[in-house]
């Protein structure tokens, strides 16, 4: 009968507790805590990256928003020149075609110039639009009378639209009410001076489409009194999620230019790469900690 070797059993006993007592839970806890710390730091860093990109987008888009407002409001100067023509004739319109042609040369974005005595369009430049527009009653039109009455009540230029123009295309229309003095010191409403601006040409002159080349998608909308913003122009993939907004001031109204990066302020790919980087660093640091601990034992 064979006898047990006590020395061998003793040697196995010395090695077995050491194997069972390896501190894997401690290393796993260190990995989890380090990974959580790195992910928290990366979240703050990605947020800062997004804010910096928002600021850059604001700086990039601001000149375009300002250009839209400046060019539109400058072109509305044609309405004041038409009103001056009416006042000069004390209500009589003389030489409209030649005067309107000269005004159109000064304001190339003005695609149609009109005068509407008592709210009814009677004078139109260019003459190719005469048959389409002459006789239209702005104060009775269901689609136009609200803005027309607003201009009269406020005695100010009101920019309406954009909407489909009778001549075709999409247009922005400015209506300036004209009041002529009476002998008793009061004024009578004479009618409207009207300027039509092609929306595509307005946006093209402002080079707003260049924002797409910079990697942005955008939309332009008209802010309504109820807080809604009706989109009338957009570029890039639809459905802005978290855009920045820039105001475009127009006469008696406000537009908004909204934009964001095509792939978001921080892309999903960037988030995944940062998360993988954090995991790799946490694993590397844990492995180093494990080796140092083994060496110390």
- Ordered structural domains, the chain, with CATH: 74-203 (3.30.450.20)
pLDDT at 9: 44
Stated pTM of the model: 0.78
* H or E, element range at 83: helix 77-88
Task: Name the 3-class secondary structure at 278.
Answer: helix
Average per-residue pLDDT in the chain? 85
Q: In angstroms, rounded to a whole number, what is the distance separating the alpha carbons of residues 191 and 199?
A: 25
Decide if pLDDT at 167 tops 50. Answer: yes
* Cα separations in angstroms, 150 against 139, 187, 217, 271: 10, 17, 34, 51
17-26, 47-56, 139-148, 257-266: segment of lowest average pLDDT: 17-26
- pLDDT, greater one: 12 or 220: 220
Mean pLDDT confidence for 62-75? 94
Decide if pLDDT at 105 tops 50. Answer: yes
Mean pLDDT confidence for 198-222? 91
Two structure tokens written together for 134: 């002459």
Q: In angstroms, rounded to a whole number, what is the distance separating the alpha carbons of residues 21 and 31?
A: 19
């Amino acid at each position: 009968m064979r006898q047990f070797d006590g020395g061998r059993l003793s040697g196995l006993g010395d090695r077995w507790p050491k194997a069972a007592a390896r501190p894997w839970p401690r290393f796993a806890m260190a990995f989890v805590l380090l990974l959580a710390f790195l992910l928290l730091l990366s979240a703050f860093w990605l947020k800062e990256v997004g804010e910096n990109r928002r600021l850059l987008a604001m700086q990039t888009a601001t000149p375009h928003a300002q250009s839209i407002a400046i060019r539109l409001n400058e072109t509305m100067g044609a309405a004041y020149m038409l009103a001056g023509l009416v006042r000069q004739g004390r209500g009589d319109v003389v030489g409209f075609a030649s005067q309107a042609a000269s005004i159109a040369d000064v304001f190339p974005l003005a695609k149609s110039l009109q005068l509407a005595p008592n709210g009814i369009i009677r004078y139109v430049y260019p003459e190719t639009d005469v048959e389409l527009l002459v006789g239209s009653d702005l104060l009775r039109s269901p689609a136009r009378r609200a803005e027309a009455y607003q201009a009269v009540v406020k005695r100010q230029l009101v920019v309406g639209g954009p909407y489909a123009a009778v001549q075709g295309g999409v247009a922005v229309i400015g209506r300036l009410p004209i009041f002529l003095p009476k002998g008793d010191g009061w004024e009578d409403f004479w009618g409207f001076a009207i300027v039509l601006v092609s929306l595509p040409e307005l946006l093209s002159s402002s080079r707003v489409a260049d924002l797409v080349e910079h990697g942005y998608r955008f939309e332009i909308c008209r802010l309504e009194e109820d807080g809604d913003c009706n989109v009338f122009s957009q570029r890039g993939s639809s459905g802005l999620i978290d855009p920045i907004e820039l105001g475009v001031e127009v006469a008696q109204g406000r537009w908004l230019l909204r934009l964001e990066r095509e792939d978001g302020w921080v892309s999903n790919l960037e988030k995944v790469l940062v998360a993988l980087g954090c995991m790799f660093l946490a694993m590397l640091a844990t492995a180093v900690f494990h080796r140092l601990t083994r060496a110390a034992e």
